[in-house]
């Protein structure tokens, strides 16, 4: 077995023996691709003609004026095809699948963005596709389920465990240990066994590469701070990677759910509730009890509702290179509302976590400071959740009427 | 030692039977009755699974048993105490099966010490390949316990030898790809795989995943040293209750 990726004490590859050969194959193929100068070119070509890259770095003029502190820029990952940074990782892994000659892809999904991106990639490249999604998430993200199925994917609701993202990951692994010969598991975030954290961050680094270049072109200097939401951690690692060697403060924002003191959250690094453990094939901070059993997590944003966190981020937390904060569900809804009204930007509920923290800090900075918020995805897919959060009466009325139409 | 126990038993029987239960499923009282019925029916060794919330390598049947046991309040401490009681009452070797996080959170060395104190002979930790298991291997060695490694049909021959170099007691050969509890074809292909396993190690070979009746076990005679029944007894308990376990084991014709 090939030496596994560790980031100080985090990471590794804690995998059942049956998958060892499959991981070895993936590792070899990834190394070859990474060394091949044509591969990154092929990848960025696909991303530019299929997914709107480079995505813009938008100056949020009205928010800047409103907070009267630093200049606020927003990196527009929401403008990727399928509406989130997930496309970056998925198209990259899709190119690897072609190289490996496999014909089927599987994926887990929480918010559904990664599932939609994977189903889209499968449609484009001609792969069979199965998506595992927790039953709870199927319910709260129906529009994404609809699109995955239209795109030809089979969506399997996972009824085990807490029926959210981690359980979908377990089921995807169970599929993979059976079908690894023709199947690649497109893991959606920078978690899981080596080489996934490294590979997913590698593809997502396109965000940071662009953002660094763009801010230098526009402003002629680097930002003071960069904000990103953190579920598994892939969009954060993507944008942070562009500034990791610079004197730029990097801020990851986790799901504070109903508040850190309620226990109903998904803050692994910004709360004291998580501890180091090994699950889902890697070592990191998990929200778990003293026996090592995983706890229930909570967030208004399905994509952040996860017990573990990228081992790369766990290490960057330990070293102090990245600062971690959390945003509560209600703060998130407020920040979302403000972004919509002031800038006409509709961040996903996940991404809105990064906006919360940026909004807290921007007023304390000066106009000479620049901050960048990574808008990892667009929020219009959250229409049901957002409408509930806003308690929008006209929306409710519409849904009731629509339901009656179906009954008629 | 585990290996010498197995060798001695094999002088009297063509093939041994290892069974598996999830501790605290359906309850600890039932677990005790199941073990009692199994030992009385002639089971040679047993795997006691400490439930974990994310049992990645297990199929639906064992996964549910893990979840049920946890939802009824099973803890690692309770599993250890219960196992100690079991070992005092029944004179066959018992092994722990669990996922690495359970050992890691307890403290790997402390866990091995506790295993030794209560008389557990070895452990199967399916998500801990030797590359990640230095602390575990050292602790098992220190307390004279058997770390049991797994061969699979996708394991190359060289890696089998590598795994066997860390293994003690027996090698657990997984019959096919996939998770526990699904259908296995007992065919000539399995013969080839088992003879490959045999060449790679001198340790006794246990074969599991999909073994569920006398026919399967008869097929394995002369090819494997131990047949492992896991999901099938849990399935049976789910449908017919704890009372049928003894007769089921007897029907396998191994005693």
Give the residue numbers of B annotated as catalytic, written as ranges. 47, 58
- Containing A389, the helix (H) or strand (E) segment is helix A383-390
Angle formed at CA A144 by CA A308 and CA A196, multiple of 5 degrees = 35
d(CA B90, CA A85): 57
Neighbours of A263 (CB within 10 A): 15
Question: Which residues 18-57 of B are in CB contact (within 8 Å) with A?
Answer: 52-57
d(CA B147, CA B237): 29
Q: Are residues A183 and A326 in the same domain?
A: no
pLDDT tens, position by position, A237-271: 999 999 999 999 999 999 999 999 999 999 999 99
Instruction: Look at B178 and A335; give whichever has higher pLDDT.
Output: A335
Q: Are residues A364 and A260 in the same domain?
A: yes
Domain with B43 in it: 2-251
CB contact under 8 A, A21 and B156: yes
Q: Are residues A30 and A131 in the same domain?
A: yes
Q: Is residue A400 part of a domain?
A: no
CATH number of the domain at A112, please. 3.40.50.1100
CATH number of the domain at B211, please. 3.20.20.70
Q: Are residues A73 and A221 in the same domain?
A: yes
Q: Are residues A145 and A243 in the same domain?
A: no
Q: Is residue A402 part of a domain?
A: no
Per the structure, the count of domains in chain B is 1
Burial A96-125 (b: 16+ CB within 10 A, else e): bbeebebebbbbbbbbbbbbbbbbbbbeee
Give the residue numbers of A annotated as catalytic, written as ranges. 86, 108, 376
Q: What is the DSSP string of B147-203?
A: EEEEE-TT--HHHHHHHHHH--S-EEEE-SSS-TTS----SHHHHHHHHHHHHH-SS
Q: Is the Cα torsion angle B241, B246, B250, B252 positive or negative in sign? A: positive
How far does the CA of residue B59 sit from the closest CA of chain A (Å)? Answer: 7
For B73, half-sphere exposure in the C-beta direction (CA atoms, 13 angstrom radius) is 2
Q: Are residues A228 and A305 in the same domain?
A: yes
Tokens standing for B14? Answer: 């063509």
- For B104, which residue in chain A has the nearest alpha carbon? A277
The residues, any chain, with a CB within 8 Å of residue A340's CB and separated by 6 or more, are A346
CB contact under 8 A, A275 and B76: no
Q: Are residues A266 and A118 in the same domain?
A: no
pTM above 0.90, yes or no: yes
pLDDT tens, position by position, A291-339: 999 999 999 998 899 999 999 999 999 999 999 999 999 999 999 999 9
Q: Helix H segments across A259-373?
A: 311-318, 329-343, 349-361
Note the residue count of chain B: 255
Q: Is residue A403 part of a domain?
A: no
Of B102, B132, B149, the CB nearest to A12: B132
CB contact under 8 A, B159 and A22: no
Of B53, B163, B174, the CB nearest to A293: B53
pLDDT value of position B179 = 82
Domain with A22 in it: 6-48+85-196
CB contact B127 to A (< 8 Å): yes
pLDDT value of position B45 = 98
Task: Out of A168, A196, A224, pick the residue that ends a domain.
Answer: A196
pLDDT at A3 over 80: no
Task: Out of A171, A196, A221, pick the residue that ends a domain.
Answer: A196
Q: Is residue A394 part of a domain?
A: no
Of A322, A313, A317, A88, give the one whose Cα is nearest residue A210: A88
Tokens standing for A314? Answer: 């766990």
Per the structure, the count of domains in chain A is 2
Distances (CA, A) of A39 to A89, A90, B50, B153: 14, 15, 46, 33
Of A18, A166, A277, the CB nearest to B152: A18
- For B50, which residue in chain A has the nearest alpha carbon? A291
Which conformational region is residue B229 in: left (phi greater than 0), alpha (psi within -120 to 50 degrees), or beta?
beta
pLDDT at A2 over 60: no
Q: Are residues A357 and A312 in the same domain?
A: yes
């Amino acid at each position: 077995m090939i030496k596994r990726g560790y980031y100080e004490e985090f990471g590794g590859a804690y995998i059942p023996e049956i998958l060892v050969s499959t991981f070895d194959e993936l590792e070899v193929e990834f190394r070859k691709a990474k060394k091949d100068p044509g591969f990154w070119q092929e990848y960025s070509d696909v991303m530019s003609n299929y997914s709107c890259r480079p995505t813009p770095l938008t100056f949020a003029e009205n928010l800047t004026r409103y907070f009267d502190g630093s200049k606020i820029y927003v990196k527009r990952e929401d403008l990727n095809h399928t509406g989130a940074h997930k496309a970056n990782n998925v198209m990259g892994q899709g190119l690897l699948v072609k190289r490996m000659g496999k014909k089927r892809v599987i994926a887990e999904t929480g918010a559904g963005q990664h599932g939609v991106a994977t189903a889209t990639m499968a449609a484009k490249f001609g792969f069979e596709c199965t998506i595992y999604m927790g039953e709870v998430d199927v319910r709260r993200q129906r529009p994404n389920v609809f699109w995955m199925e239209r795109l030809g994917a089979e969506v399997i609701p996972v009824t085990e465990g807490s029926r959210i993202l981690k359980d979908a990951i377990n089921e995807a692994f169970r599929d993979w240990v059976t079908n690894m010969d023709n199947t690649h598991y497109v893991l959606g975030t920078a978690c899981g066994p080596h080489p996934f954290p490294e590979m997913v961050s590698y593809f997502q680094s396109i965000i940071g590469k662009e953002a660094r270049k763009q801010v230098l072109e526009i402003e002629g200097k680097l930002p003071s701070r960069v904000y990103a939401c953190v579920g598994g951690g892939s969009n954060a690692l993507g944008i942070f990677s562009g500034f990791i060697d610079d004197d730029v403060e990097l801020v990851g924002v986790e799901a504070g759910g109903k508040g850190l003191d309620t226990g109903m959250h998904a803050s692994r690094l910004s709360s004291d509730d998580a501890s180091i453990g090994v699950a889902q094939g890697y070592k990191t901070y998990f929200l778990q009890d003293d026996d090592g059993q995983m706890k229930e997590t909570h967030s208004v944003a399905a994509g952040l509702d996860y017990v573990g966190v990228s081992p790369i981020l766990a290490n960057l937390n330990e070293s102090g290179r990245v600062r971690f904060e959390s945003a509560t569900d209600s703060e998130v809804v407020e920040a979302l509302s403000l972004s919509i009204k002031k800038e006409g930007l509709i961040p996903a509920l996940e991404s809105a976590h990064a906006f919360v923290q940026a909004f807290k800090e921007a007023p304390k900075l000066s106009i000479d400071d620049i901050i960048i918020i990574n808008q990892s995805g667009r929020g219009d897919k959250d229409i049901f959740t957002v409408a509930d959060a806003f308690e929008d009466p006209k929306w409710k009325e519409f849904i009731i009427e629509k339901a009656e139409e179906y009954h008629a | 030692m585990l290996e010498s126990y197995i060798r001695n038993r094999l002088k009297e029987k063509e093939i041994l039977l290892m069974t598996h239960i999830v501790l605290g499923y359906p309850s600890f009282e039932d677990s005790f009755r199941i073990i009692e019925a199994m030992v009385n029916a002639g089971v040679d060794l047993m795997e006691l699974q400490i439930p974990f919330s994310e049992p990645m390598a297990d199929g639906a049947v064992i996964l549910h048993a893990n979840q049920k046991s946890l939802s009824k309040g099973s803890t690692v401490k309770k599993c250890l105490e219960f196992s100690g009681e079991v070992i005092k009452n029944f004179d066959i070797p018992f092994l722990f099966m669990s996922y690495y996080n359970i050992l890691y959170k307890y403290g790997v060395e402390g866990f091995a010490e506790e295993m030794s104190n209560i008389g557990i002979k070895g452990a199967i930790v399916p998500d801990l390949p030797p590359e990640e298991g230095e602390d575990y291997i050292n602790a098992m060695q220190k307390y004279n316990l058997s770390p049991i490694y797994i061969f699979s049909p996708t394991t190359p021959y060289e890696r089998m030898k590598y795994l066997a170099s860390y293994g003690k007691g027996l090698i657990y050969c997984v019959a096919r790809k996939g998770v526990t509890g699904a259908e296995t074809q007992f065919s000539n292909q399995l013969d080839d795989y088992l003879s490959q396993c045999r060449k790679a190690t001198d340790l006794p070979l246990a074969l599991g995943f999909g073994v569920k009746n006398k026919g399967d076990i008869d097929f394995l005679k002369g090819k494997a040293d131990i047949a492992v029944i896991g999901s099938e007894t849990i399935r049976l308990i789910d449908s017919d209750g704890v009372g049928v376990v003894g007769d089921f084991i007897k029907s396998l014709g191994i005693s």
